[in-house]
A = this chain, B = another copy of it.
Amino acid sequence: MSSVTIRDVAKKAGVGVGTVSRVLNGSTSVSAATRQKVQEAILELQFTPNPAARRLSRGKTMVIGAIVPYFTNPSVVRRLQGIVSVITESDYDLILFDVESEERRDVFLHNVPRRHMVDGLLVVSLTPSDEDAVQLIDSLLPTILIDAHHPQISRVIVDNVTGGYQATKHLIDLGHRKIGFISDYLDDPFNSPVRDRFQGYKNALAEAAIPFKPAYHRQGEHGRSPAREMAYTLLSMPNAPTAIFAYSDTQAVGIIEAAREMGIKIPEQLSVIGFDNIEAAEYLQITTVRQALYESGVRGCKLLLDLMETPTLTPLEISLPTELMLRNTTAPPA
């Protein structure tokens, strides 16, 4: 800690520390001459204010926190990139809280607001319970949900119902009637998108007067391998689907692997459509529903910065559109 402090600067410039602080913070009430002297002293001493002291003194941390689940998930990473891009342009720093278990999720959701660790909070792809929401609101910590919904908290969301509808509709338009859906567990309380996309799937089915067949829906852990296993069982059943809507691109990859191993040709014998449009979907030429991953991060983070400037009472909602990306894994049924 041999670093130079505001006192050193004050001494050197022959002024009081208060004055130095004033020029540091761009206060107007400093004479040009004094300001000049102080600035010279700062330069000469290579002084940079200690952020911890600053924080303590003004009760602001100048950092924004982001609670994200499964940092390993490509879509989460993409959103984070959007967040980072706006943070980088701001005066704030970003602290990352990686949630890999329900326990850590609770720990962060409880501690981060209470501890005055951050001036603003971004919660990514984690739907807070009502109880969580109350805590968050009571803490008065400006918070934005990204890809998660709660009526009382401002949020940037994607219309997953429409997205699920678009995916399924595309398959139906192609002529498919036996359409499977492979997804994460529907009853995960923190994952509302899965239920929304499922709803979209059922809506499209209903519209086309295709009865929903529970056997065509498989749910399991998220990830490539579980999806591959689910695809195995789905494709092994008598009267198997001719098309599968995957909850995510990652899962679509698993389905494609299963098909390859089973000698089922895509898209000739099986159509597969994913969701998210992660980079790999482009590499693999997977037909999918694009959601504005990167942009959700950008918008969410900007919204947070706004909220921190001017606290608003009524929660805002920004809804980002989805878009069908036609590629090579869907075709009319054989």
Chain A contact residues, CB within 8 Å of chain B: 1, 3, 46, 48-53, 55-56, 59, 61, 63, 71-72, 74, 77, 80-81, 84-85, 87-88, 93-96, 98, 100, 104, 111, 114-117, 253, 279-280, 283-284
Of B46, B51, B93, B116, which is within 8 A of A116 by CB?
A: B51
Report yes or no: A95 in contact with B94, Cβ–Cβ below 8 A: yes
Distance (Å) between the CB of A12 and the closest chain B CB?
17
Q: Which residue of B lies closest to A139 (CB)?
A: B3
The 4 closest A-B pairs by CB, nearest first: A52-B55, A52-B56, A48-B115, A84-B98
With the chains together, A155 CA to B290 CA distance in Å? 40
Docked CA distance A13–B1 (Å): 34
Across the interface, A63 reaches (CB within 8 A) one of B84, B95, B114, B280, namely B95
List 14 additional contacts besides A48-B111, A51-B115, A253-B283; criterion CB under 8 Å: A48-B114, A49-B115, A50-B56, A50-B116, A52-B116, A55-B56, A71-B84, A77-B77, A88-B98, A88-B100, A88-B104, A93-B95, A280-B280, A280-B283
A279 / chain B contacts, CB cutoff of 8 Å: 74, 280
The distance from the CB of A87 to the nearest CB of chain B, in whole angstroms, is 8
Contacts of A59 in B (CB 8 A): 1
Instruction: Report chain B residues within 8 Å CB of A77.
Output: 77
Residues on B with C-beta less than 8 A from A53 are: 56
A61 to B74, CA, bound (A): 30
